[in-house]
Structure 1
Amino acid sequence: MPQLGAICEQDKIKFDSPGKEEFLGIVVNRWLEFPWLKPNEAEPAPIWDTERLHQLWVNLEGEENWRGFYQAFEVVKV
């Protein structure tokens, strides 16, 4: 995270305050056609809100084969 060549490069990811960070990965057999999933300079990583999550889950209900991966960790000040 992120993958090589991604707009959001690893050295650009900074945590500026303590808190919980969550990562969600979804593997599907086909590309999901949501404009907000296409990386761009203004939003290199998707910003999740309830509408986007709803769109995603409704779409995944129609998929036969997909996997989800979740990871959470605490960011602490050192």
Structure 2
Amino acid sequence: MTIPHQYQTFEIETIYAPSVIGPLGNTTSLITSTYRGQMDFSMVISEGFVPYAEAQAIQERMMSIINEQLAIQFQTA
């Protein structure tokens, strides 16, 4: 979905990724959105399925992958 950043008399600066919480059970979700060249992501993880320390490791790995890919893109640009 394309959302323009300017509407007649006002400008949209930021759109945040939606967060979800589903039905009880495995509520593991990763939501990512981009707007005007910025990425926003959120993780919703039930600690009953993924312990806090593992969730932190997942977050760190995700950030590492994103940073690696950005570095590659900037090298080729």
Same fold (TM > 0.5): no
| Rg (Cα) greater in structure | 2
Between structures 1 and 2, the one with greater helix share: 2
TM-score normalised by length of structure 1: 0.25
TM-score normalised by length of structure 2: 0.25
- Which structure has more relative contact order (CA 8 Å, sep 6+)? It is 1
